[in-house]
Structure 1
Amino acid sequence: MSSRNLNATAASLLGFLQEGPLTGWDLVAAAQQRIGDFWSLTQSQVYRELASMAAVGLIEAGERGPRDRRPYSITDTGRAAFTAWLSRTPDDETIRFPLLLTVLFGRHLPPGRLAEIVAEHRKLHAERLAAYQQAREQLVGGPVDPHQLAPLEFGIRYEAAALAWFDDLPAEIRTGERPHQRGANNSQ
């Protein structure tokens, strides 16, 4: 595995290892906490990537410690591969927003079900926005690392945009009320 075929998952693990040795368990926790809102990693992916990177010399496994956990350290080859990967122009992002598929085909749901789903998701986005804003307040209270603040600001703006989108949805989607139902209700 060279920097050419280093995938984003492996590269993110090398990025975390720049800060010092970590076990697979620590890497999973770091990924969930620090990048989980914009880059998903599963535990199986982490361990698979660690094995691959160790096999090609990008990382070294240390001695097993408590609970049979093994710390991994980045090698000079790993640092070079990470730097090369980080220096390249990133691929275009791909929107994978499962709710959009549900909305697209929502006319096939029973009346009101799409509105329930949309309300659940709107609530999740509002909660995530509040958590990001709280994290920003804590981060801005001390020395600010612009590399941490910039993705957080993106998350805040993304969630604010998502909430605006939810609020601008047609009433038929937001409330589950069909246009013909509105007319029938008004004539009574």
Structure 2
Amino acid sequence: MSLRHAVLGLLAEAPASGYDLMKTFNASLANVWPATQSQVYGELTKLTAAGMVTVAAEGPRGRKEYAITEEGLGELRHWLTDVEPAGHARHDGLLRVFFLGVLTPLEARAYLLQRAEAAAGDHAGLVEIDETTPWDDDMISVYGRIALEYGLRQSAMQEEWAHWAAEEINSAKARNAAEGTRGRQQPHAE
């Protein structure tokens, strides 16, 4: 996903000023695709230059309200239907899991339990968003709630997996693998 498509998606709901976009962004998309105010305003400038949004109205103090154009809507629809999501090609946390055998079983379990605690914290934050957000019938609310549910389920699964993995460290297979790794780490006598 790009910031370009996030801005186009928000403007597909309704015209908005940069300030209004930032408020909506922070209330809805920040957990999925964070952006700063300068990034959003910069993207609005680029989208305007590309003909994908237009300044629909100007107000006091130079306030501009932007609206998506047909070209912008076409780009958004193309991205939604024809561009395959990139997904997560890299995951620093899982890369570490591959090498936990270098640590003692206690250290490996501690790492996994920290991951479980972090996932539980993420889950609690998403639950709070769900409980405090005034969900209604607009596009951002309906589909934002669906995206939030993904985060709720993902964080719950990550916590459950990390607890399971911490217990796996106690398995005979894990202990044998750790013994083999430590044996290879010993300096060889000559």
TM bucket normalised to smaller: 0.5 to 0.7
Counterpart for residue 18 of structure 1? 12
Whole-angstrom CA distance in 2 between matches of 1:49 and 1:97: 28
**More deviation in 111-120 or 90-99?**
111-120
Q: Deviations over 1:62-96 (max 9, x none)?
A: 42545x54332222322232233323253241244
* Residue 133 (structure 1) aligned with residue 118 (structure 2): no
Q: Which has the higher helix share?
A: 2
Whole-angstrom CA distance in 2 between matches of 1:173 and 1:23: 53
Q: Unaligned regions of 5+ residues in structure 1, if any? A: 1-6, 181-188
Which residues of 2 match residues 13-92 of structure 1 at below 5 A? 13-61=7-55, 62-63=57-58, 65-66=60-61, 69-92=63-86
Whole-angstrom CA distance in 1 between matches of 2:148 and 2:44: 27
**Conserved 8 A contact 2:108-2:166:** no
Q: Which letter maps to 2:21?
A: L
**More deviation in 33-42 or 164-173?**
164-173
Displacement of 1:56: 1.5
Q: Which letter maps to 1:83?
A: R
Q: Unaligned regions of 5+ residues in structure 2, if any? A: 177-190
Counterpart for residue 166 of structure 1? 162
Pair member with larger Rg: 2
Whole-angstrom CA distance in 1 between matches of 2:155 and 2:73: 34
Whole-angstrom CA distance in 1 between matches of 2:26 and 2:90: 18
**Conserved 8 A contact 1:136-1:152:** yes
Displacement of 1:130: 2.5
Q: Over aligned residues, Cα RMSD in angstroms?
A: 3.9
Higher relative contact order (CA 8 A, sep 6+): 2
Counterpart for residue 149 of structure 2? 153
Quick one: structure 1 residues 20 and 50, their matched pair in 2 at CA, closer, same or farther if it must change by over 3 Å?
same
Q: How much identity, in percent, do the aligned residues show? A: 27
Quick one: structure 1 residues 136 and 65, their matched pair in 2 at CA, closer, same or farther if it must change by over 3 Å?
same
**More deviation in 157-166 or 69-78?**
69-78
Whole-angstrom CA distance in 2 between matches of 1:28 and 1:101: 34
Displacement of 1:166: 1.4
Displacement of 1:40: 3.2
- Partner SS for 1:167: helix
Q: How many residues align?
A: 171
TM-score normalized with structure 2 length: 0.65
